[in-house]
Amino acid sequence: MSMTDLLKAEDIKKAVGAFAAADSFDHKKFFQMVGLKKKNPDEVKKVFHILDKDKSGFIEEEELGFILKGFSADARDLSAKETKTLLAAGDKDGDGKIGVDEFSVLVAES
């Protein structure tokens, strides 16, 4: 399954383009723009599993740095600051990674 099976390619392109500048990433705005906020819980979980590149059941800090690439291969990497901000927003239990339930909450809070 690819991201465009769940989200519109046009929405992905607009959202990735909106945060092309370094240190401009805002996960709440991004999740809204890409259409993730409107998806049902099962679809949000499917997006999580696409972003979980190593299939560990978690999105670790390193994977978070490449989160935009999970939506569009030609997107930029997040800066270290953006990655840490996103991790802090999503890591509710403090284990240094974001699980599927934490990701679902992160999207719902957007």
66 annotated among ligand-binding-site residues = no
Please name the residue that has the structure tokens 């809070």: 109
Which residues partner with 99 through β-bridges? 58
Annotated binding-site residue? 55: no
Q: Which residue, 89, 94, 96, is CA-closest to 28?
A: 89
102 is in an annotated binding site: yes
| 52 labelled ligand-binding | yes
Residue 42 annotated as binding site: no
Q: Is 74 marked within a binding site? A: no
CA angle 88/79/71 to nearest 5° reads 85
Whether residue 93 is annotated as binding a ligand: the answer is yes
91 annotated to a ligand binding site: yes
Known binding-site residues for Ca(2+) equal 52, 54, 56, 58, 63, 91, 93, 95, 97, 102
